[in-house]
Amino acid sequence: MLLLRAVLGVTILAEGWHYLRAPDSGLAAWLIGLLALAGGALVLIGLFTPVAASVVATGVAGVGLSLLPACSPSLFDSGMTIVFGLTMLLTVAGLGPGAFSVDARLFGRREIIIPPPLS
């Protein structure tokens, strides 16, 4: 989970940086860039991971469906990379941050106790 979060977090941070550095960026591109930077940082460190990954996945889906403007040097420029990114983001959102995260330090690790069968 740490490696998956690190790869996604750095990718989303780079995408947000590209949005902010675009020469013809408008207000929408600045907002998307700032949200991508915030979401990428939260996914990277593992803080509020399910919420952050869901918000970033919604943004990636919006860019993929052309509902949101895409930046010119985009890391999610083809349909296949959007599918891979969404799959990994939804995996992180569903599984949680993992043991090496801020969430695990704040809220503790989850332990699943399976009761013995009734005989």
Do residues 8 and 89 make contact, with C-beta atoms less than 8 angstroms apart? yes
Whether pLDDT at 13 is above 80: yes
pLDDT band at 41 (very low <50, low <70, confident <90, very high): very high
pLDDT in tens, 77-100: 777 888 888 899 999 988 888 888
Whether pLDDT at 110 is above 80: no
pLDDT band at 27 (very low <50, low <70, confident <90, very high): confident
> What pLDDT was estimated at residue 48?
92
Q: Is 116 exposed, middle or buried (0-12, 13-18, 19+ CB in 10 A)?
A: exposed
What residue spans of the chain are helical by DSSP H? 2-21, 27-45, 49-64, 79-95, 102-107
Whether pLDDT at 29 is above 90: no
Confidence (pTM): 0.82
Q: Which residue in 60, 55, 93 sits closest to 79, CA to CA?
A: 60
CA dist 41 and 108 (Å) reads 21
Count CB neighbours of 58 within 10 A: 16
Place of tokens 């990114």: 85
Do residues 89 and 60 make contact, with C-beta atoms less than 8 angstroms apart? yes
> What pLDDT was estimated at residue 65?
86
Whether pLDDT at 72 is above 80: no
Whether pLDDT at 39 is above 90: yes
